[in-house]
Chains A and B, each alone.
Chain A
Amino acid sequence: MTASTANLTPRTGLGDTAAGMPMLHRAIFIALLAILIVAPFQFYPVFLMKVLCFALFASAFNLLLGFGGLLSFGHAAYFGAASYISAHAAKVWGLTPELAILSGTAVAAVLGLVFGSLAIRRHGIYFAMVTLAFAQMVYFFALQAPFTGGEDGIQAVPRGHLFGIISLSQDINLYYLVLTIFFVGVLAIYRIIHSPFGQVLKAIRDNEPRAVSLGYAVNRYKLMVFIMSATLAGLAGATKAIVFQLASLTDVYWTMSGEVVLMTLLGGMGTVFGPMVGGLIVVTMQNYLAHMGAWVTVIQGVIFVVAVMMFRKGIVGVIGHWLKRSL
């Protein structure tokens, strides 16, 4: 019981520096940025962009699961809807890429508001089922709507010119845009979870009745974090559509929702860096095992089972446990 009171006091036990971010986290972020700036000279930029998009997607999902304690099994809805809108905006409306991404993200935010306000009326397992069902609804919409191209999806989306000036057809230019979006996204998430809002969120996660009795409008917090998570997942999906010049049914199918759960679980839910690691591993695995067809599904299932049975902290969670630091 005392633990949850401690959680309600911001800046307790986080090892904050005066500037608000612990040295360790700051060092990791700087190292990450440095690596990612030089990475495209060593690795294939499109692969790196895919990793960044999914790492952001998983981080956004983790904001909801790891810090809000809400397991959504339908995050493909926001990722995929944003992907479709972004692709449509860039291709049919001829918007510049940044506006296309923004419109996709905005649609994800609205969807998050609508589905979130309904889903938070149920708890736990029901919440997971409700979000899954809503995502399936979005999938059927994408399958049937006139502008989504049915089974083909929206193909040959133009990458266009950033702000109408910088051509994104060169991978390297696009890469740095994606890198910027990724960093803005994860730093926003970092800021959210370490804000007073984030502390209340953790209190609700750990002991909802107590948070209610302390006078917090629990549902409002849940809805807010749901919308934030959906918006950032949308940002990742909208960016992905520009990178691959494609929005397809894969983006919005339940398998995508499962993958983001897997990334977060594997990397470590409730950690800052875990979902990024999980995203990297899952995307890399898919790339190298792509020729194995349905075996990829089997392997993902096995990872799920192993992670749930004996590895619930995830990779980063375990490392953090060794170091006795929260990562």
Chain B
Amino acid sequence: MFELLGIPPQALFGQLLLGLINGSFYAILSLGLAVIFGLLNIINFTHGAQYMMGAFVAWMLLHYIGIGYWWALILAPVAVGITGIIIERTLLQRLYHLDHLYGLLLTFGLALIIQGLFRNYYGSSGLPYTIPPVLAGGHNLGFMFLPTYRGWVVVASIVVCFGTWFVIEKTRLGAYLRAATENPEMVNAFGINVPRLVTLTYGFGVGLAAFAGVLAAPIYSVNPNMGADIIIVVFAVVVIGGMGSILGAIVTGFGLGLVEGLTKVFYPEASATVIFIIMAIVLLIKPAGLFWRTA
């Protein structure tokens, strides 16, 4: 077997795969943030909590009513998306005329409430969620061992990310969405119901977070705190990529996951901070973010 810079290939590819998986979550989450930001102009701090809710809904479906993984993959995002729609209709909608920072503060408060409630009822030790039988086991690829579920996570998130990209950039609905981002009054005047578009967009962004949560449930334990730390990394990802571009969010998410994986191989001490360090460098040399589009 060959070795690369003294690192056995099993370890290298193993960490790269882990990085790719983290990157999948970064990509879906930052994509959701970007979609929401584009139309609502707020940063959804609740995103991490909603990712956690997705995982919990999957767990509840399985343990309380026996509905399995595949249905959870559809039902959990819908359920969490509906809670998002309620939040948008009752709270967020009243803040659009104010400074955008109030949206950040409100969603931060909501995140505290949701995380606190789940901690009260489920503790913080984490609940196991088993991998569905079809995706259990793995394949030996010769240079590394690929657990099937992890391969599935990467494929599923790529499909969802590019599906979202396609809808926003290439369909009529996406055209309305982009137009409403650009000039909501004008689009409203053309007879498109912009407030409803905004509500549905928030619901969709939140649903994406919940989808990531369901994907994550079998990998990480289902834990009330699982969203709190990842969302801060995702914020850094969003600062690096800029929120002006859907494709940018996706590419940055996967790319930074890989970088994090590589750091784990070559300099593990820095693996928790490498994304923040990259953020600092990007702020120094390209302060507007890597994928900033000047419209």
Binding site for B on A (CB under 8 A): 71, 73, 118-119, 121-122, 124-126, 128-130, 132-134, 136-137, 140-141, 143-144, 254, 258, 261, 265, 293-298, 300-305, 307-309, 312
Q: List 6 A-B contacts (CB under 8 A).
A: A125-B37, A294-B116, A297-B119, A298-B120, A301-B114, A308-B106
Chain B 226-260, CB within 8 Å of chain A: the 1/0 string? Answer: 00110011011011000000000000000000000
Residue in A closest to B102 when the chains form the complex, CB atoms: A308
Q: Which residue, B115, B232, B275, has most C-beta atoms of chain A within 10 A?
A: B232
CB proximity of A68 to chain B, nearest CB, Å: 13
Q: Assuming the A-B contacts A140-B272, A140-B273, are A126 and B239 also in contact, with contact meaning beta carbons closer than 8 angstroms in the complex?
A: yes
User: Counting CB contacts under 8 A, is B94 at the interface?
Assistant: yes
Q: Assuming the A-B contacts A118-B284, A265-B105, are A141 and B100 also in contact, with contact meaning beta carbons closer than 8 angstroms in the complex?
A: no
A325 CA to B273 CA in the complex, in Å? 46
The answer to whether B104 and A71 touch across the interface, beta carbons within 8 angstroms, is: yes
The answer to whether B283 and A121 touch across the interface, beta carbons within 8 angstroms, is: yes
Residue in A closest to B111 when the chains form the complex, CB atoms: A301
A67 CA to B181 CA in the complex, in Å? 31
A113 CA to B101 CA in the complex, in Å? 23
The answer to whether A133 and B235 touch across the interface, beta carbons within 8 angstroms, is: yes
The answer to whether B116 and A141 touch across the interface, beta carbons within 8 angstroms, is: no
Contacts of B100 in A (CB 8 A): 124-125
Interface of B is mostly: helix
The answer to whether B102 and A312 touch across the interface, beta carbons within 8 angstroms, is: yes
The answer to whether A304 and B112 touch across the interface, beta carbons within 8 angstroms, is: yes
Interface contacts beyond A125-B43, A294-B117: sample of 13 additional A-B pairs, CB < 8 Å, sorted by A: A71-B104, A128-B104, A132-B235, A133-B233, A136-B229, A136-B276, A140-B272, A141-B273, A261-B105, A265-B105, A293-B119, A300-B112, A302-B113
Name the 5 nearest CB pairs between A and B, nearest first.
Answer: A304-B109, A301-B112, A297-B116, A301-B113, A298-B116
CB proximity of B138 to chain A, nearest CB, Å: 31
Interface residues on B, range: 35 or more
Residue in B closest to A144 when the chains form the complex, CB atoms: B269
A143 CA to B239 CA in the complex, in Å? 24
Q: Assuming the A-B contacts A254-B228, A298-B113, A301-B113, are A125 and B283 also in contact, with contact meaning beta carbons closer than 8 angstroms in the complex?
A: no
Residues 12-67 of B at the A interface (beta carbon under 8 Å):
37, 42-43
Chain B 278-290, CB within 8 Å of chain A: the 1/0 string? Answer: 0110011001000
Residues 56-113 of B at the A interface (beta carbon under 8 Å):
91, 94-95, 98, 100-102, 104-106, 108-113
Residue in B closest to A302 when the chains form the complex, CB atoms: B113
The answer to whether B287 and A122 touch across the interface, beta carbons within 8 angstroms, is: yes
Contacts of B269 in A (CB 8 A): 144
